[in-house]
Amino acid sequence: MTVMTGFRPLRDFMTLRDAVDRLFDDNFANSGNWYSLAGSGRYLPIDVYETQDEIVVRAHVPGVSPDELEVNYQQGVLTLRATMKGVESQDGWRWYVREIGAGEVTRQITLPRGIDVDQASANFENGVLTLTLPKSATAKPRRITIGNGGSGESQHQITAQSEG
């Protein structure tokens, strides 16, 4: 049985957009990972997930102290910057494997919803930076009551969500 679906350009466009976003967010295509392939290990892996009230970002930054981390948010873009210290070679040392890189690594991500930066919090434990970014009031779903023109009959509710 063949199921025919109509052409819905907005849905198809968003699917293409999501695919392109995934391509650039993919570890292989991410420019930070090219450094890893070259052997310097300069890559900042992150997890980002959304709950009803907040967006949570977790970044793995082993060997980096909180003083060596910088977190910025501007116009929907979150920037994480870490400075990793390396080990200087000494006379008589012979390296067999050298994958832990040194230097600055930066990761930027566009967040999917508006956030309230003033209420954001950060926790750093065991080399994992966890950012809790509460959604702004305009980004949260709101209930709107729909009546029947004041006739006193039943009312219906819908949920509206703004693109914050």
Show me where the domains of the chain are located. 11-43, 44-85+101-135
- Provide the pairing of β-strand 54-60 with 46-50: antiparallel
Top CATH class of 44-85+101-135 equals mainly beta
Q: Average model confidence (pLDDT) for the chain?
A: 76
8: which residues sit within 8 A by CB, 6+ positions away?
none
Quote the pTM value: 0.60
Q: Of all residues in the chain, what percent carry a pLDDT higher than 90?
A: 31
Q: 130 burial class (0-12, 13-18, 19+ CB within 10 angstroms)? A: middle
Rounded Cα–Cα distance for residues 107 and 36 (Å): 14
Which pLDDT band holds residue 103 (cuts at 50, 70, 90)?
confident
